[in-house]
């Protein structure tokens, strides 16, 4: 299965800064043509620049999925098809436009309410300037707004516009156990249509992984995950990991096919990971209630409009600040006079020592807030300017 990564948002929260990055790709998280995941478990969606999506092949496993509408091959395929038929109507395909990156991507989402509240991974919508969602149950396509997200837990909630009568997912009331049969279901490869399904077993619980992105130098630490050998692929991110009764036990989030990563487990061979559904829904309820925190972002995202060169500062302090690789036309950064080659050194008088520090410094602000940016240009001259942040894509 695959997470395809279109990242279109109807009214997506823009990121504090638009990072110059490659989209993250990985077996479960997503497949992409212009995106490469360097050391780390894949936490991306399927992404491509133009034309048809290019789907990355997943690693071998006890069962395989072969694209839209496929089910696991081998023994038990009829049973898998029966389980998938129960689950499919409670899923959506998420297509996003990554406007600043000139790409599109796609993933999967789980329907929580009949009025269109959707649970998905944060990385499925990361960087989206437009989002459209197609409900598998009724075949209709809706625009979507980002309600909120938690980058540290890789959870996001969307709200479809003018949706009603949607079929919701059946959520398990008990946890899974090691050795239990599970099926991963989602928009593998971002091809849309009937979701793909792949069967496997739960191989471990409470697992921790580190997923990193060579494109922007960032890394995510995820803990408490369900590990399975089901063949979860790019585009499946945000999809359902279900038990034999078709009840959702986890949200597909990452997989190892074709990529290296670090985990705390001792398993070998194919590995995929899902966030336990009770944890994901608890966080979704907090987001829906508007409970922001140091990790939970509610609503639209404040946007400065610079692309950061993570390679230049290593997401650290090599350059003494955040190196600007480019400036978005019409953005607050352009209006302030920032240009490629400048190094941003402070926000409201507080020093920043790299791209990640700048992103963190901007996180508390909302669109319309005024901040003072300090930077040094290519000639070594220092500058300050006061800018009003605009609204941009989620990060």
Provide the CATH number for the domain around residue 308. Answer: 2.30.42.10
**From the candidates 45, 123, 135, 331, which is the catalytic residue?**
123
Does 346 score more than 70 pLDDT?
yes
Quick: pLDDT tens for 360-381.
888 888 889 999 999 999 899 9
- If phi over 0 gives left and psi between -120 and 50 gives alpha, with beta otherwise, what is residue 189? left
Q: What is the pLDDT of residue 46?
A: 53
Query: Half-sphere exposure (CA, 13 Å, Cβ side) for 92?
Result: 35
Predicted model pTM: 0.75
Does 136 score more than 90 pLDDT?
yes
Do 210 and 258 belong together in one domain?
yes
Q: What is the pLDDT of residue 256?
A: 66
Highest mean pLDDT among 28-37, 215-224, 246-255, 265-274: 246-255
Could you give the C-alpha distances from 346 to 107, 123, 325, 343, 349, in angstroms and in order? Answer: 36, 27, 17, 9, 6
Look at 18-32, 75-89, 251-265, 310-324 and tell me which has the smallest mean pLDDT.
18-32
Does 64 score more than 80 pLDDT?
no
**From the candidates 237, 240, 256, 346, which is the catalytic residue?**
237
Of 299, 331, 360, the one marking the end of a domain is 299
Q: Which domain holds residue 37?
A: 1-299
Residue 73 and residue 77: Cα distance in Å, rounded? 6
SS3 content of the chain, % helix, strand, coil (to 5): 15, 35, 50
Q: Tokens 């480019």: give the residue.
A: 326
Do 111 and 246 belong together in one domain?
yes
Could you give the C-alpha distances from 216 to 165, 234, 310, in angstroms and in order? Answer: 40, 19, 6
- DSSP per-residue codes, 331-380: SHHHHHT--TT-EEEEETTEE--SHHHHHHHHTT--TT-EEEEEEE-TTS
Centroid of chain to Cα 77: 29
- If phi over 0 gives left and psi between -120 and 50 gives alpha, with beta otherwise, what is residue 82? alpha
Q: What is the pLDDT of residue 143?
A: 96
Domain count, the chain: 2
Q: What is the pLDDT of residue 60?
A: 23
Of 265, 299, 333, the one marking the end of a domain is 299
Does 20 score more than 50 pLDDT?
no
Quick: pLDDT tens for 216-256.
445 678 999 999 999 998 889 999 999 999 999 999 998 76
**From the candidates 154, 213, 216, 236, which is the catalytic residue?**
154
Of 299, 320, 336, the one marking the end of a domain is 299
Residue 115 and residue 246: Cα distance in Å, rounded? 22
Q: Is 54 a catalytic residue?
A: no
Quick: pLDDT tens for 299-317.
888 889 888 876 665 444 4
Do 336 and 293 belong together in one domain?
no
Q: What is the pLDDT of residue 267?
A: 46
Q: What is the pLDDT of residue 127?
A: 84
Q: Is 62 a catalytic residue?
A: no
Q: Decide: 352 and 376 in contact? Cβ < 8 Å.
A: no
Q: What is the pLDDT of residue 361?
A: 86
Mean pLDDT of 267-278: 82
Q: Is 154 a catalytic residue?
A: yes
Do 288 and 345 belong together in one domain?
no
Q: What is the pLDDT of residue 313?
A: 56
Average per-residue pLDDT for the chain = 77
Show the 3-state SS of 194-214. CCEEEEEEEEEEEEEEEEECC
């Amino acid at each position: 299965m695959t997470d395809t990564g279109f990242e279109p948002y109807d009214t997506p929260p823009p990121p504090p800064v638009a990072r110059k990055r490659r989209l993250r790709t990985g077996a479960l998280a997503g497949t992409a043509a212009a995106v490469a995941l360097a050391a780390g478990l894949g936490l991306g969606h399927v992404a491509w620049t133009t034309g048809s999506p290019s789907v990355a092949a997943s690693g071998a496993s006890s069962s395989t999925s072969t694209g839209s509408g496929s089910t696991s091959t081998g023994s038990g395929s009829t049973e898998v098809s029966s389980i998938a038929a129960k689950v499919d109507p409670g899923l959506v395909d998420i297509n996003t436009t990554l406007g600043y990156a000139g790409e599109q991507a796609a993933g999967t989402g789980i329907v929580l309410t009949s009025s269109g509240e959707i649970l998905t991974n944060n990385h499925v919508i990361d960087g989206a300037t437009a989002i459209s969602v197609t409900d598998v149950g009724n075949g209709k396509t809706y625009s979507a707004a980002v309600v909120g997200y938690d980058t540290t837990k890789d959870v996001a909630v969307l709200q479809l516009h003018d949706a009603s009568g949607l079929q919701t997912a059946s959520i398990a009331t008990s946890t899974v156990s090691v050795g239990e049969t599970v099926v991963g279901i989602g928009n593998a490869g971002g091809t849309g249509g009937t979701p793909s399904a792949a069967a496997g077993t739960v191989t471990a619980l409470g697992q921790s992984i580190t997923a990193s992105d060579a494109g922007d130098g960032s890394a995510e630490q995820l803990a408490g995950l369900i590990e399975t050998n089901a063949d979860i692929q790019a585009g499946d991110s945000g999809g359902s990991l279900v038990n034999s009764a078709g009840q959702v036990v986890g949200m597909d989030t990452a997989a190892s096919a074709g990529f290296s990563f670090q985990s705390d487990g001792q398993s070998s061979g194919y590995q995929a990971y899902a966030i336990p559904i009770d944890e994901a829904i608890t966080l979704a309820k907090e987001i829906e209630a508007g409970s922001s925190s140091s990790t939970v972002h509610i609503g639209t995202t404040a946007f400065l409009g610079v692309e950061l060169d993570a390679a230049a500062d290593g997401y650290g302090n090599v350059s003494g600040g955040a190196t600007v690789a480019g400036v978005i036309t019409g953005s607050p950064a352009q209006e302030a006079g920032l240009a490629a080659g400048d190094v941003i050194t402070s926000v409201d008088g507080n020093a920043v020592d790299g791209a990640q520090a700048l992103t963190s410094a901007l996180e508390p602000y909302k669109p319309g807030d005024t901040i003072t940016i300090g930077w040094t240009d290519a000639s070594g001259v220092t500058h300050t300017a006061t800018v009003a942040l605009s609204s941009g894509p989620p990060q």
